[in-house]
Structure 1
Amino acid sequence: MKKAMEVIVQVKFVWGLFFAASVIIYTIINMLLGNTSIELIAVWQLLLLTIVIVFIHYLIFGEFILTDLSIKKKIFIHFPLCYLTILVFINLYGWINITSFNTILTFSGIYLFFYLSIVNSLYLYYKITGEELNAKLAIYKQNKKSSK
């Protein structure tokens, strides 16, 4: 039961981050296009899209499937799955016309930029926090040895 609760909290947290990020990105793009409001249907569309993306995220990066793959291999699987999923959804929603090569090229560039930014941010975050935790652990071990 404890493990189930941990997974639920993690999924809820990650979904919240993805949903907030998608709303912010959608709002910025809408502002650049001259729109001043977001339609309620777009919120529901973003909700469904982020649920699917979180599901893909947990299939690949979760603790139950693909546990023996390296993080690089997981990223190489995650990147195209999310790309295709988002491309299908934005085509279904009519947000872009995928018959235009320039539109696909623009979408691909924006997707690549955001994906690489997020992956690098997460890498730096985990590297910094991992180094901090390792330093604290080393101090703890040293204090424990000196107290004996």
Structure 2
Amino acid sequence: MKRFMELVVQFKLVWGLIFTASILLYTVYGLFTGQTTMDFVLIWQFVVITMVLVLIHFLIFGEYILTSLKTKYKILIHYLLCYIASFISSNILKWVDISKAESVVIFTGVYTAIYLMMSFSLYAYYKGTGEQLNDKLAAYKQNKKIKGEEK
């Protein structure tokens, strides 16, 4: 039960990050195109696409599959699978005209830029958080050592 709750919390975190990012990106896109509202159907489309992307994330970075694969290969596989899922979704929803090479190139460029920005921001966040935890652990060990010498 504990493991299930950990997975639920991780799922909520990743889903929330991706969904929020997609809403914010669409809002910026809407500003450039002059849109002032967002359809309710569009929000549900984002929910479904986000669920697919989160499932891909857990398949690649989860603790059950591809555990021995190096991180750089996981990132490459994740990038490609998310690209394919996003491209297919965008085509189904008529967001990208795949008959025009220019549209595909723009989609690929924008997708790659967003993927890189999100990857670097998550890397910085986890690196900063990890360093904070390491500092706290070092302080705890030092404090424990000092208390052990006093006794």
Counterpart AA for 1:19: F
In 2, the alpha carbon distance for the partners of 1:103 and 1:42 equals 20
1:115 matched to which residue of 2?
115
Q: How does 1:86-101 map to 2 (within 5 A)?
A: 86-101=86-101
Aligned-pair CA distance for 1:111? 0.7
Aligned-pair CA distance for 1:31? 2.0
Aligned-pair CA distance for 1:107? 0.9
Q: How many residues align?
A: 148
Q: How does 1:13-92 map to 2 (within 5 A)?
A: 13-92=13-92
CA deviations on 1:40-79 (whole Å, 9 max, x unpaired) are: 2211111110110000011011111111222211101100
In 2, the alpha carbon distance for the partners of 1:128 and 1:27 equals 29
Is there any run of 5+ residues in structure 1 with no aligned partner, and where?
none
- What is the DSSP-based 3-state SS (H/G/I as helix, E as strand, rest coil) of the residue aligned with 1:35? coil
Counterpart AA for 1:112: T
Is there any run of 5+ residues in structure 2 with no aligned partner, and where?
none
2:126 matched to which residue of 1?
126
Runs (4+) off by over 4 Å: none
Cα RMSD, aligned residues only: 1.1
